[in-house]
Amino acid sequence: MKKFTLGNSKEEVLKLVPERVIKKVILGETSIGIMRKGETFHTFHAFCPHRGASLIQGNINSSGEIICPLHQYRFDLETGQVKSGYCGDLTIYPNELNENGLEITIP
């Protein structure tokens, strides 16, 4: 398990990741997506578990789900659970926003 810190402060991270915009970040050898709503961050595997489409190009709906641009599969950003579609759940990475930045844990 590895921990990565994005940014050097809470304020810097809030500026780096605009609200409701999906950003791609590579941590070690893992590509992840980051999306924030207020001061809550969602960090998830950057590719759909169904066919590997880039979720960075996906959309976020009002229910807090990310929608894959390829087949419109939907995944809960809190749990990674597939809500619509026939595949495994999306990998969600634990994160914590603190005064030192955004700490993200990759197993």
Domain ranges across the chain: 2-106
What kind of fold does domain 2-106 have according to CATH?
A: Rieske Iron-sulfur Protein (2.102.10)
Query: What is the pTM (predicted TM-score) of this model?
Result: 0.95
- How do strand 2-6 and strand 101-106 relate by DSSP bridges? antiparallel
- pLDDT at residue 93 in the model: 98
Structure confidence by residue, pLDDT tens digits, 86-97: 999 999 999 999
The pair phi, psi for residue 82, each rounded to 5°, is -70, 125
- pLDDT at residue 12 in the model: 97
Q: How far apart are CA 83 and CA 86, in angstroms?
A: 9
CA-derived radius of gyration, the chain: 13
- pLDDT at residue 30 in the model: 97
Using alpha carbons, select from 95, 102, 98, 47 the residue that is nearest to residue 73.
Answer: 47
- pLDDT at residue 8 in the model: 96
Amino acid at 27: L
- pLDDT at residue 46 in the model: 98
- pLDDT at residue 27 in the model: 96
Structure confidence by residue, pLDDT tens digits, 10-29: 999 999 999 999 999 999 99
Structure confidence by residue, pLDDT tens digits, 48-79: 999 999 999 999 999 999 999 999 999 999 99
DSSP 33: E
Percent of the chain exceeding pLDDT 70 equals: 100
User: pLDDT averaged over the chain?
Assistant: 97
